[in-house]
């Protein structure tokens, strides 16, 4: 069974006067992962192994505590037994 998925991640700092620099720090961490990631207007989509993505999200959560004491994650997963890529999900719309 394949665990290759796409995950859409939205990081939302709460109670911050200037949230954009904090979101930029989160994006820098996500971009440092050894995974394909596309930043969108409302969320970032990542593709890779489900368990590696979840480990990276746990790590991101720990690192972001330094910059933001309260935040929310919104996660959506797309899974198929054959695997899912960003390209396979959006190719017909490009």
What's the CA gap between 50 and 83, in Å, rounded? 10
* pTM for the full predicted model: 0.85
Per residue in 29-62, pLDDT (tens digit) is 999 999 999 999 999 999 999 999 999 999 999 9
CATH 2.60.40.1120 fits 4-93, yes or no: no
> What's CA 38's distance to the chain center, in Å?
9
What's the CA gap between 26 and 94, in Å, rounded? 27
Tell me, what's the pLDDT at 38? 94
Query: What is the domain partition of the chain in residue ranges?
Result: 4-93
Give CA separation, 54 vs 17, 49, 50, 68, 94, in Å: 29, 9, 6, 20, 28
């Amino acid at each position: 069974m394949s665990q290759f998925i796409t995950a859409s991640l939205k990081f939302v700092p709460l109670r911050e006067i200037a949230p954009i620099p904090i979101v930029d720090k989160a994006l820098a961490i996500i971009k440092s992962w050894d995974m394909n990631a596309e930043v969108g207007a409302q969320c970032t989509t990542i593709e890779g192994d489900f368990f590696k993505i979840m480990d990276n999200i746990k790590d991101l959560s720990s690192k972001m505590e330094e910059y933001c004491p309260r935040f929310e994650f919104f996660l959506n997963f797309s899974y198929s037994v054959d695997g899912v890529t960003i390209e396979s999900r959006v190719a017909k719309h490009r």
